[in-house]
Amino acid sequence: MPAIPTAPAPCPVRFLLARRHSLHISYPSPCSNHQRLPPRLLRLPARPRAAPMSAEARAPASPVAPPAHPTYDLRAVIALALAEDAGDRGDVSCLATIPSDVEAEATFIAKADGVIAGISLADMIFNQVDPSLKVEWFESDGNFVHKGLQFGRVYGCARSIIVAERVVLNFMQRMSGIATLTKVISALIYMIKLLL
């Protein structure tokens, strides 16, 4: 199958907001041969056009493009995060204070307005810690939630919930923060387009 053309590596970009004002945004390029251009030469690139391809050469339509970087082994990442959080012996305070037969229910409550992300990863973490845990979500990835909203719950062995919850929250808070900021930036870009 012929190689699919890719977009050029990102370089500094200048967005023209109005006739007399401009917003200059610079970010590093992952490409090694990146050279900084003088500001007077920075222009928005023309929209790239794909080279025509035959019907046989076209890849099947995919809702999400494959990543340009190697993907991570999520199970290994989860195992590392759990080992870092609980250590080799497990959560010592949990083992010392909570009997093994105690069951509990924990709820997920939004601490701030934002976009939820990381639900699939949270399911993987709970399953990796204890497959018997029952997890229920009331919202989906990408949904906007308001502060105080309960958007999920988990029920099962209290020890397993405590071991998994910190890792789940670390990943979900990070991913939800990125999703929320992306939504804000997307709205700003939309407003910039309206000003052009």
- Provide the residue range defining the domain that includes 108: 74-182
pLDDT averaged over every residue in the chain: 74
CB 106 within 8 A of CB 161: yes
CB 157 within 8 A of CB 103: yes
Strand partners, 150: 109
47 lies in a domain? no
92 lies in a domain? yes
Tell me which residue of 133, 124, 117 sits closest to 82, measured CA to CA.
Answer: 124
- What's the domain count of the chain? 1
166 has pLDDT over 60:
yes
Q: Return the exposure string of 111-141: e unless at least 16 CB atoms fall within 10 Å of the residue's CB, then b.
A: eeebbbbbbebbbbbbebbeeebebebebeb
Separation between Cα atoms, residue 132 and residue 7, nearest integer Å: 45
176 lies in a domain? yes
Structure confidence at residue 171 as a pLDDT band (50, 70, 90) = very high
Which tens digits make up the pLDDT trace of 89-115? 777 888 888 888 999 999 999 999 999
* CATH label of the domain that carries residue 160: 3.90.1170.20
H or E, element range at 106: strand 103-109
